């Protein structure tokens, strides 16, 4: 057993808390945090660059042997007191397993033949963004573009992805112009998801070749100007109360139709 850290002034613990609380700190260090056994397992399995593994004493005894079988040459392991674990945990029933992980280097998008993509444009709810990433992974979407959204590396987004953040190709794009340039150069047809009844019905419009569907902000949808820059507008026909679907649910149904 390693020395057990009890002080909240330990520099790694201080770093963990800063990264957990602040996007600015995550950007500055190029690091983000993980909490929970399963997501830490996923990170190790997918060869994410884990710089620190942090266990409470109790969690180290229970899970340490299993997790430390991974190739951890570049990873430091810390054991902290259960009290300190409760202090840094974001959930009230923490498993006591934490990690600090490097933000992946930017990669140029990969455009598969008949690739299927989703563009998250201005989504602000971390739970929605995480759920869409998880669903994209389950349905086999080839890549996710994010533009003007909440921070991909916030603890709440990461937790909601259930590990899919390490499996999906996710591209954070700085501006709308750059986004359209990238998609155009990749030969991707673009569809704006809207609730207008005169848009193409997603059940009838067909998706051939490389395709990306744009999903807009939870409250306001896509800006009209952004929708106009897309090749076409698509809509989910609703049979019931004209009550827009939650953004994550709409994205799920659109990705489902894209992949079929």
Note the residues at the interface with a second copy (CB under 8 A): 131, 134-141, 162-164, 167, 203, 238-241, 243-246, 248-249, 252-253, 256, 259-260
CB of 89 to a second copy, least distance (A): 20
**C-alpha 214: how far from chain center:** 16
Q: Which is nearer to a second copy, 30 or 237 (CB)?
A: 237
**143: helix, coil or strand?**
strand
CB of 260 to a second copy, least distance (A): 6
CB of 255 to a second copy, least distance (A): 9
89: CB partners within 8 A, 6+ apart: 35, 96, 98
Strand order in the sheet with 170-172: 170-172, 143-147, 116-121, 211-215, 189-193, 232-235, 200-201
Q: Which is nearer to a second copy, 5 or 253 (CB)?
A: 253
CB of 178 to a second copy, least distance (A): 27
Residue 116: phi and psi, rounded to 5, are: -120, 125
CB of 247 to a second copy, least distance (A): 11
Q: Which is nearer to a second copy, 135 or 191 (CB)?
A: 135
Strand order in the sheet with 31-35: 4-5, 76-80, 50-56, 97-102, 31-35
Q: Which is nearer to a second copy, 25 or 41 (CB)?
A: 41
Helix (H) or strand (E) holding 55: strand 50-56
Q: Which is nearer to a second copy, 53 or 132 (CB)?
A: 132
Q: Which is nearer to a second copy, 192 or 247 (CB)?
A: 247
CB of 239 to a second copy, least distance (A): 3
114: CB partners within 8 A, 6+ apart: 208, 209, 210
Neighbours of 124 (CB within 10 A): 14
Residue 213: phi and psi, rounded to 5, are: -110, 130
Neighbours of 122 (CB within 10 A): 22
Q: Which is nearer to a second copy, 156 or 167 (CB)?
A: 167
CB of 194 to a second copy, least distance (A): 15
């Amino acid at each position: 057993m390693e020395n057990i850290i009890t002080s909240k002034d330990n520099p790694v613990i201080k770093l963990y808390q800063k990264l957990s609380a602040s996007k600015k700190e995550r950007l500055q260090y190029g690091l983000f945090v993980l909490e929970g056994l399963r997501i830490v397992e996923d990170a190790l399995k997918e060869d994410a660059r884990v710089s620190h593994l942090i266990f409470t004493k109790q969690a180290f005894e229970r899970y340490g042997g299993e997790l430390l079988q991974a190739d951890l040459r570049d990873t430091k392991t810390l054991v902290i007191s259960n009290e300190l674990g409760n202090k840094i945990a974001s959930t009230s029933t923490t498993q006591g397993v934490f990690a600090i992980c490097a933000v992946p280097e930017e990669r140029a998008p990969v455009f598969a033949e008949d690739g299927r993509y989703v563009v998250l444009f201005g989504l602000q709810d971390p739970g929605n963004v995480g759920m869409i990433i998880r669903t994209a992974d389950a349905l086999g979407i080839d890549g996710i573009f994010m533009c003007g959204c909440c921070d991909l590396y916030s603890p709440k987004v990461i937790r909601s992805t259930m590990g899919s953040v390490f499996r999906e190709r996710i591209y954070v794009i700085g501006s709308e112009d750059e986004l359209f340039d990238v998609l155009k150069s990749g030969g991707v047809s673009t569809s704006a998801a809207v609730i207008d009844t005169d848009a193409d019905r997603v059940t009838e419009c067909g998706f051939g070749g490389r395709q990306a569907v744009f999903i807009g902000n939870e409250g306001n949808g896509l800006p009209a100007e952004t929708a106009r820059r897309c090749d076409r507008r698509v809509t989910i026909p609703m049979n019931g109360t004209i009550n827009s679907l939650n953004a994550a649910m709409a994205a799920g149904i659109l990705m489902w139709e894209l992949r079929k």
